[in-house]
Chains A and B, each alone.
Chain A
């Protein structure tokens, strides 16, 4: 029994590794700058948003190190967006493989999630460079960073599982998700400090796990001026709400994906 479980997971691990490597090789394969693009893309977006929001609209003057704060938010959001967007089509686009081979389906989603995680790591390097340049001081609260990244990883992955499985059944999901992501980008305090919107709106928006994660990572890594659930509500117990949302989505996603994955081969 134990042998069999081990065998199963060894296979998954081998597959996972190979799929992540392949994904990375293929990503920037025929471009001249190659991997540099995974750094250049968020940087370009950052430069645009920096000029629009920081220089012209003068948002965020109240927050120290705002440019780094802005870049970090964008990088985290990009990760979430990459994982979920890949997740939507991941299963359907591997239809050919699914119809010919029996392998653990979750590996497909997991592989996409890991290659995005590698990307996130590279992007964090850029953030660190900016932080050093901006004289951001290293705070002891940084030890919480891994915990928050794990939360981000789990939340993004769960959404990817859910979307990927749903897309097999309903092919509208990708369009719906695109619209949701566009709205959510502005509903999440990425470009603006959450303090500039009405208090009621703050209280609602901060409960979104992505808002909570972004604000918390900024809090532990860059500046304690980043508003977190604790500061918005004045009550640390409210943290349980986004955590609860993440847990709920994870359970629903895993259950649904497991139930559906048996029939992927017939439905894609």
Chain B
């Protein structure tokens, strides 16, 4: 007996995705003989090797479609690897998803027995723990109702309550945190905490970096079917988050609506963004007169024109102070703000005005920002700064 619970050695998984699947005799005759290459090979996993030690809480993270669930299914023995080998030691419970085999036409009670049987419990064993299961799910009054009359939250609670009874040497858990409300998630966390104290080996697939950091001893990141990060939990979580940081795309817009008195002119606006941070560079000049004091602000509006987020040099924490501009001089302001925007498309307005409300120059729709955040990942530190820089006038 070694101390390895799961050993995955150079595993490849390819799916043949037929363009038109030959599933009837007619297509077999009309297409099968032509022997055209009727399918596309999808490389779901490429050369995956790793080991999980006994008693380890091991996290697998990755984007949607990266191959992590395919990997979990191969660990469970549901899919066969195309190449390579997977060895597992000890009894394995393929607790892949919650509520497997639940039948809406059966009552809650009957579903507990059915679901329990799928997890390997005999009727006697479930008899013994039935009351606990129901109490944990807080569904005492509903057990004799058909499952189809349950709310989805109730179904999840029941499924989870049964699933937490699973006893095995190796547990495979897939994205259970993705369902359920805050109360349910707290229950999940408690369950994981309890699991961590036992010597059960756990393979845990999730998007929740918090959970990975809290529970996992080690983790790995899968990207496009390959392991791109493996080992320390914090490193893997950082690498995972980095995958999303490039997803905010700023583009300049050609159709800018612009007006103002022109005492201060916006020369150029440059928008840069990551999922963590947004940077706006605004270049200004005073073509006619010197301006004692002025204010520069920006707004992000969403696609229906509602203002979502904005700021100016006055409300920034480390501000540039009072802004003034000499005649014929240039200035560049750099606004930095955490990217609190959720997935969506935004357009940027920049306004230069005096301390009252006279607008010197306003660009409406100066740039576009497209934000793609595949989950609620927001920067944790709230800060906003603005930097002011004198620019030597260019000779025009």
Contacts and interface: CB of A to CB of B under 8 A. Distances in A.
Interface of A: 7, 10-11, 14-15, 17-19, 22, 25-26, 29, 97-103, 169-172, 262-263, 265-266
The 3 A-B pairs of least Cβ separation, nearest first, read A18-B117, A102-B77, A171-B23
Contacts of B79: 265-266
B121 interface: yes
B69 to A, nearest CB: 10
Nearest to B25: A172
A101 B117 contact: no
A18 B120 CA distance: 11
Contacts of B80: 262-263, 266
A100 B97 contact: yes
7 contacts: A14-B120, A98-B78, A102-B78, A103-B118, A170-B23, A263-B80, A266-B80
Interface size class, chain B: 20 to 34
Given A14-B117, A18-B113, A99 B106 contact: no
A101 B118 contact: yes
Contacts of A22: 103, 106, 110, 114
A15 B106 CA distance: 16
B373 interface: no
B76 A102 contact: yes
B190 interface: no
A237 B366 CA distance: 95
Contacts of A19: 117
B24 A101 contact: no
Contact of A101 (B23, B91, B100): B100
A102 B79 CA distance: 9
Nearest to A264: B78
A22 B110 CA distance: 8
Interface in B56-115: 73, 76-80, 91, 94, 96-97, 100-101, 103, 105-106, 110, 113-114
Tell me which of B28, B73, B91, B97 has the highest count of chain A C-beta atoms within 10 A of its own C-beta. Answer: B73
B123 A99 contact: no
B15 interface: yes
B122 interface: yes
B89 to A, nearest CB: 11
Given A22-B106, A97-B100, A14 B121 contact: yes
Given A7-B91, A101-B78, A14 B122 contact: yes
A238 to B, nearest CB: 35
Given A101-B101, A266-B15, A25 B106 contact: yes
Given A7-B91, A172-B24, A266-B15, A15 B118 contact: yes
Nearest to B117: A18
Contact of A265 (B28, B78, B122, B123): B78
Contacts of A99: 73, 78
A15 B94 CA distance: 14
A107 B101 CA distance: 14
A263 to B, nearest CB: 7
Contacts of A263: 80
Contacts of B118: 15, 18, 97, 101, 103
A183 to B, nearest CB: 18
B4 to A, nearest CB: 18
A15 B117 contact: yes
Contacts of B28: 170
Contacts of A10: 120, 122
Contacts of B113: 18
A99 B114 CA distance: 17
A25 to B, nearest CB: 7
A100 B96 contact: yes
A17 B97 contact: no
Contacts of B73: 99, 265
Nearest to B107: A25
Contacts of B122: 10, 14
